[in-house]
Amino acid sequence: MIDRADESARPEPESLSDQVVSRLQRKILSGEIAIGSWLRHGAIAEEFGISRTPVREALRILAAQGIVTIDANRGARVNGQSSQDIREIGEVRAELEGLAATLACDRMDDEQLAEMTDSWQSFRTTLDEPTEQQAKAWVVANERFHSVIMESAGNPHLAATIRDLRRKLPHNLSFGAYAGNSRLIARNLSQHQAIADAIIAQDAELARVEMVKHIKFSIDATARWVERNAGGGDAG
């Protein structure tokens, strides 16, 4: 069952169709849903415990991204997304999120600063937990961290563009590449800390550099993970 977001929690919360898009992207990129498979509206709606309407919208989004091809009579056939696509999307996202970090240096208020700082404390307590629990905690922490920086940047056009790129490539997907590798998780934590320290110090250039480096590292890890799951080649 997909959780329905509290619309008062954040401006422009993730819709049900966006949640379906993210879940299906993860399954396709990880190889759980094979390239060439057919996605059926009814089966997806039943699996996620929702109506067919957000499922149809999600498949239209995936079709616009080239990840699936819709057949009116059969559903949607999975095309996949290549590791090159992932890296190209990541290059753009890295620069835009770097800009968001730059703007956040002067615009982040005390409440947002506290949320950014606190977002990883709960995750640190799960480092010795089983992977499934650790993954859930990481997704929450990662979402809070990046969302509060984007929000505090105070530029709705920038935020909308970043959200559009996240629809094409979910930013929480990268935990699939980190799972079971304590060194990669530790490096991910240190990168978030470096970004936070730069924003707290109001060092705009350092915040940009650290964010770009962090996004590129995550994207590269994700692309290599997809290549491994695809047997050493592209997922497309």
- Domains for the chain: give ranges and CATH numbers: 16-78 (1.10.10.10), 83-229 (1.20.120.530)
Residue 138: both structure tokens together: 């990481």
Main-chain phi, psi angles of 68, to 5 degrees: -130, 160
Contact (Cβ atoms closer than 8 angstroms) between residue 35 and residue 235: yes
Give dist(CA 171, CA 218) in Å, integer. Answer: 9
Predicted local confidence at residue 13, as pLDDT: 57
* Contact status, residue 80 vs residue 28, Cβ threshold 8 Å: yes
pLDDT value of residue 33: 84
**Which residues contact residue 115 at a Cβ distance below 8 angstroms, ignoring those fewer than 6 apart?**
144, 148
The per-residue pLDDT for 14 is 66
pLDDT tens for the chain, 236 residues long, are 554 433 333 445 568 888 898 888 878 876 778 778 899 999 999 999 999 999 999 999 889 878 889 988 888 998 867 888 889 999 999 999 999 999 999 999 999 999 999 988 777 877 777 777 888 888 888 989 999 999 999 999 999 999 888 877 777 778 888 888 888 888 999 999 999 999 999 999 999 999 999 999 999 998 888 887 664 333 33
CA max distance for the chain: 57
